């Protein structure tokens, strides 16, 4: 299935990545080639195959809902581009 520029533009929007026009062109052809290659999976009959999302069989992992020490506020904020009063600061939303 070839992919067109508008779809790549749409996916870039979903991914929150701003792209230059020239990059958009390159990606459309490169991702198109990859998707064409991927289509080889359709040669296989998987009608009755169970999907594997995880190689090692694991049941749900539960733990007790107990309060344990976590990262200190200032440590968690130590890499923030902007912070104020112990919070991450972001551009105005409303």
Is 17 a binder of other proteins (CB under 8 A)?
Answer: yes
Name the 3-class secondary structure at 32: helix
Is 91 a binder of other proteins (CB under 8 A)?
Answer: yes
Nearest distance from residue 17's CB to other proteins, in Å?
A: 5
Both tokens of residue 11?
Answer: 């996916």
Binding mask 47-66 for other proteins (x = CB under 8 A): --xxxxxxxx-x--x-x---
Residues near 25 by beta carbon (within 8 Å), at least 6 away in sequence? 5
Return the H-helix or E-strand segment holding 38: helix 21-38
Contacts with other proteins, residue ranges (CB under 8 A): 3, 7-8, 11-19, 23, 26-27, 30-31, 33-35, 37-42, 44, 46, 49-56, 58, 61, 63, 71, 75-76, 78-82, 88, 90-93
């Amino acid at each position: 299935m070839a992919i067109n520029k508008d779809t790549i533009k749409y996916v870039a929007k979903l991914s929150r990545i701003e792209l230059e026009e020239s990059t958009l062109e390159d990606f459309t052809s490169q991702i198109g080639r990859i998707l064409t290659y991927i289509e080889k999976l359709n040669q296989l009959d998987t009608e009755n195959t169970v999907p594997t999302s995880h190689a090692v069989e694991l049941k749900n992992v539960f733990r007790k809902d107990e309060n344990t020490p976590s990262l200190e506020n200032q440590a968690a904020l130590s890499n923030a581009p902007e912070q104020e009063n112990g919070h991450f600061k972001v551009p105005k939303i409303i």
